[in-house]
Structure 1
């Protein structure tokens, strides 16, 4: 038996992870761009009163989030009808067009720039749907967790690059130069073009090819991904496993309503939606938005020191994502890390609340000075970021991409991904109001959400690490009698048996006693 290599598998997963780079860079660079003097002068924002300036900046951030939310349903029919690979190309094309539109200098109109941001968001939203799905469908069970974690690593790496791109532009280029804002914006083209070109060289997901009756193409894709000959027994066995759970061609694709009526699908949706809500509600985005304010109130009261600590915050998130991808994912299961991460995040938020309250009560009209409470509060921000990066950060995406059956995957992943973006918008909207009205107690609110996440994971989330996609995953989420959808997928219909028989005649494959398989 031939021995393959994971080289091509890693290459295909890396290309798919570039959608995470689109996500991360868009988040990382925009905050710095909005305050650049050159940007404000070019779009005439420096002439606006403070309330109007804040509203204009908020619209530029929000329109991207709205685009990402609607990009998910936009990508669903592309993903289902044209395939995962073409959906990746679709994401890249939207993102590149959005970046070009942001650089078009015709009227110095912020509306044109925001239209580009909207296109960016649409591409990123569709990417968050298809990329984890594609990676889960091309991976072996042993490599799936690590490769899916690469998506979160790409997000954090690109977010860090975005932050430092804006920082470097401000430090090295004159405020009067348009290049100060144009270069960080143009950098968006790099991951977008790389993704667009990369999709020309990677295969379609074998799962999708088998589902659409393209068995020969699926065999070729598997052979390429596993670096093995088409005729290798391992390739044949994996192809057979995919065929066993392939919907019969004459049975229509179930509607969304039919899918959610199935008890086991509702159970999976409950897990996926719950993880996406928890990922947002534990408070990381609150720290993303307000880390510089926390650092300045802690006594690091110069802009340069605050921004430097914010950069270290990004490095911590990147380090945790890489650590999970290469180390932690191999040590214990998903449930362990979800519970541990939720617990550490909750404790960090409680300590942060106590420290911030102490800092506020001891502050006066004079400059803030570095204190023990200030150092501890900064440390808690970093501990929270690391704990999140080895738990809810990557695992929420990983689980949602692997728990749904093939016939329902695109629609169900669309639901969970929409929930993720919706709650990002919710957190972006409520955090300023919480900080304005309850102040330091905001962190106690998020601590309570961390506690709820810990309890919910313990009660409701099963262990999915190492579970094969298909029948084994169906059994993990079974609820009493098998759902009609699962019976259909597992080959318990006459139509399914006939389809397998036709395939066996084409391939000539038989089991050990001579029957077609």
Structure 2
């Protein structure tokens, strides 16, 4: 495994079943977002749901239907904004494990209200249920990446955190296939046609909550709340090494050193001191810029709107028939899931964050540009019953392929980075609040995107909308090259040295200029042998 090549001094025991079990449990939380994104757009194509909500009401204008659809779709994003806001407090106050159990309860409660609308016929219950479910779903994007980054050894941190983003596509894929299967095998005259696929939410929430009782609490959170003995015990279990082993002691020393420096710098400040620290220090402002820019550029690159409104996109490119659109959408889910797993296992730690992101953005840009040009040149293909033949048909097939290519690029690029970057750039004191701020901004933009896209199709036309996404994607490529630092192989505590550099060289030269600078574990890896162990013992 490439991990052993990059860090030959690290004991092989640190990659063990306890670590992978925690990664599995917290990584699985990504399915919360994925299920919603995969089920929302496809559910809206099912005749039973359209009749219940009035989406098939012929008295409504196209603009009214677009507004109704965006309201239903965006309710989860609205709730997720609140969920991401409160997540930092709960994650730090009650710990990563209890925060997981709490969010699962909220998630299930919201879905239960949402599904109850099938018997009551209440659009208000659909709105309320999706909003409450969103409060739980929004918390997953803070709790899970924070935990995964904190328990992972430094050379597999990208893999561990990307299990969350990979599970997003597991949820999307299952959501797509369940809606497709439901359209085939459950009559459109019964509300069970859309209720059955949405029961996946409850299944996943119960599984995650139950498995969390067998997971190990984050040692870094335990150190932060003063439970040092428990932190040492938990880290020993996670690394499968004795508590007094040099690797465990070195990691504990790094955690305590960073926390002590942070507390000394903020000693005597009030409750708002953490927020002031986040926005006043130049290094932290750069971190905030990375969080904000990654969310804005990622969400407005267009890939997320394709995920949510996938059936509509396939219809634009000439795919007709409800079942055909749902089947094409289901295959789209498979493509995104497989590509996200490839990125997690082979790219994000091996090639690095920056190369993976830039490769993904390049693929996404080329795909978006092709779709934009195609839709601008031939507007008739979107019309109901349009006959497509000859070169236009071949170009339409190419456009359908480009939808899959864009999903491939998104999974390799922005989807992995938008969670990973926020979990590893912030110091321990600010990790939860920094991640919470970033994901709040994430859902604000996703809400705006899900609300705006149906209207953009009407005002900018579909081709103009795709061209807009192409331009944003190109801007993202330039931003990634200049501003994004490469952090693969660095411990969480060693990233501080990167952000202490002048702002204009952090993204381009940060890793090279800070090679070997940082935590004790890095020093051991550089020196190796008995000398490094003795150095650690003297410092401890």
Q: TM-score normalised to the size of structure 2?
A: 0.84
- The secondary structure found in structure 1 opposite 2:28 is helix
1:451-505 C-alpha deviation (Å, 9 max, x unpaired): 11111111111111111111x2000001569xxxxxxxxxxxxxxxxxxxxxxxx
- The secondary structure found in structure 2 opposite 1:83 is helix
Alignment correspondent of 2:281: 262
Is 1:322–2:341 an aligned residue pair? Answer: yes
Shift of 1:37: 3.4
- The secondary structure found in structure 2 opposite 1:204 is coil
Shift of 1:167: 1.9
Paired positions, count = 488
Q: C-alpha separation between the residues in 1 aligned to 2:279 and 2:308?
A: 35
Shift of 1:70: 1.1
Alignment correspondent of 2:525: none
How do 1:467-506 and structure 2 match up within 5 A?
A: 467-470=490-493, 472-479=494-501
Equivalent residue for 2:487, pick from 446, 464, 479: 464
Q: C-alpha separation between the residues in 2 aligned to 1:323 and 1:221?
A: 30
Is 1:157–2:170 an aligned residue pair? Answer: yes
Alignment correspondent of 1:114: 127
Q: C-alpha separation between the residues in 2 aligned to 1:187 and 1:362?
A: 35
Residues 368 and 311 (structure 1), Cα distance of their counterparts in 2 relative to 1, 3 Å cut: farther
Q: Which runs of 5 or more structure 2 residues have no equivalent in the other structure?
A: 1-10, 504-532
Shift of 1:217: 0.7
Q: Which runs of 5 or more structure 1 residues have no equivalent in the other structure?
A: 482-509
Residues 445 and 219 (structure 1), Cα distance of their counterparts in 2 relative to 1, 3 Å cut: same
Indicate if the aligned counterparts of 2:314 and 2:325 stay in contact, CA closer than 8 A.
yes
Q: C-alpha separation between the residues in 2 aligned to 1:364 and 1:26?
A: 29
Alignment correspondent of 2:86: 74
Q: C-alpha separation between the residues in 1 aligned to 2:286 and 2:183?
A: 49
Residues 171 and 110 (structure 1), Cα distance of their counterparts in 2 relative to 1, 3 Å cut: same
Shift of 1:369: 1.6
Is 1:193–2:221 an aligned residue pair? Answer: no
Residues 48 and 88 (structure 1), Cα distance of their counterparts in 2 relative to 1, 3 Å cut: farther
Q: C-alpha separation between the residues in 2 aligned to 1:459 and 1:169?
A: 47
Alignment correspondent of 2:152: 139
| Structure of higher RCO (CA pairs closer than 8 Å, 6+ residues apart) | 2
1:352-411 C-alpha deviation (Å, 9 max, x unpaired): 222222332688886332512111111211111111111111012111110001111111
Q: Mean Cα displacement is larger for which, 472-481 or 370-379?
A: 472-481
How do 1:343-382 and structure 2 match up within 5 A?
A: 343-360=362-379, 367-370=386-389, 371-382=393-404
Shift of 1:54: 5.2
Q: C-alpha separation between the residues in 2 aligned to 1:364 and 1:180?
A: 27
Residues 124 and 364 (structure 1), Cα distance of their counterparts in 2 relative to 1, 3 Å cut: closer
Shift of 1:277: 1.2
1:309-348 C-alpha deviation (Å, 9 max, x unpaired): 2222211111110110112224311111222222222222
Alignment correspondent of 2:453: 431
Alignment correspondent of 1:33: 43
Alignment correspondent of 2:76: 64
Alignment correspondent of 1:397: 419
- The secondary structure found in structure 2 opposite 1:82 is helix
Indicate if the aligned counterparts of 1:2 and 1:228 stay in contact, CA closer than 8 A.
no
Shift of 1:41: 5.2
Q: C-alpha separation between the residues in 2 aligned to 1:364 and 1:207?
A: 56
